[in-house]
Amino acid sequence: MIGHVGFSQNQSRGSLSKITSVYQTIKANYYQPVSSDKLINGAINGMVSSLNDPFSEYLANQDATDLNNTISGSFGGIGTSVKQAGNYVAVDAPVKNTPATKAGLKTDDLIVSIDGKSAKGLTVAKVVAKIRGKIGTKVTLGLRRGSTAFTLTLTRAKIPVKTVTGAIDPTNPTVGNIQITTFSEPTGKELKQTIKSLRQKGAKCFVIDLRGNPGGTLPTALETASMFLKNGQTIMQTQEKAAQPVKYVASKDYDQGFKVKEKTVVLVDGDSASAAEIFASALQQSAHDQVIGTQSYGKGTVQTVSDLGGNSEMKITTAKWLQPDGTWINHKGVTPDQKVKYPDYAYLSTFDTGKTYQLNQSSRAIVAIQKILNALGYTVDQENGVYDQSMQTAVTNFQNDQLKNGVTGLQANGIVDPATGDALVNALTQKISQNDPMYAKAVAVLTQ
């Protein structure tokens, strides 16, 4: 196999002999004992890192076991999958309605510390192990988003394992609203059950909401997309190195004969990735259903996991996947038919709700609180990071309204303590969910 990468056999032997020489030199001459496994794993990790591909990884021992659990959907206490990103691990995609989304975590946020300790150099599995914990306990993450550094304290919770939920739209009883949070083994079965249930309740058309969906397994993407296509229509294509593209088409082999012929609209955003993009592309290009939202993430590669023996494995990118028309969306994403953004306040930065903020303090976190207060209708004179009298009044008014609405654990004292911080984030999350222009546009398309 080494000869396939462009070296002659002699070049390959020469390159490998260098690796062997370095190994032997270290073993013989390094000033203190060093593990053979550590050297070998370091060499392998170096080769994989040189690919500069965040989706290719070498994992050994417990790392391999933990990653398999993560891939299978066992995200753990805060509700997000993670991925390797250079020397750090980054958020892959938060799961809806979990502590991660409520705290404002976003795709590609770098996890630079966990409970005050540096996370530099930690593997995916080690980060997952540190973030997971007993329900109700807290974990503090130091994060970096672009050039902005911030800290969040999250309370671990039980993460729902159901991947598909559905409901009849409260104002349009013929519209079925279906959310798919990830594409894992039970998703196909859950989607069929949800569609059948909504049909019985009167649904004549569907919104398929893939926003925040990080993807999942290729077989599940093929199974679910096939339900919405006529047999023979192209779901996707894959292309391995130096090979012609291979088409995957809708068939009974994928969907077991279950078809959705009702009018359908798909919602995507910047956190819709991988299998979610395969699904959206298939419905957009082959079923001619509209895709609404913002540009999707743009992950156009396929990974294969190989067992290397000795409780180790390699996950490596082996192919491109292409849209039905042959377009490669890598780093570009699926382009919606109708581009609709979230409200501006949906993009506000969050803050560490585990701390207390009060009069005469100043910080970047206070800027974030001021912006949230203004978005919620509690006017602050300036968004300058200074906790002044107008901010104290706005906080007091917010606390009073929350107490009137039955929120417990707050005091109307004008201080943003952890309970008030959580209430502010929850109120903003609720406002975003209640003012959803993407979903509103989807319903308008279906009912026009």
The residue annotated as part of the active site, out of 81, 184, 274, 281, is 274
**Residue 141: CB partners within 8 Å, gap ≥ 6?**
111, 113, 114, 131, 151, 152, 153, 154
349 is catalytic: no
A 10 A CB-CB count for 305 gives 15
A 10 A CB-CB count for 199 gives 14
251 is catalytic: no
* Cα distances (Å, whole numbers) of residue 28 to 25, 32, 38, 124: 5, 10, 15, 32
The residue annotated as part of the active site, out of 96, 102, 106, 299, is 299
The residue annotated as part of the active site, out of 226, 272, 284, 303, is 303
303 is catalytic: yes
- Catalytic residue numbers read 274, 299, 303
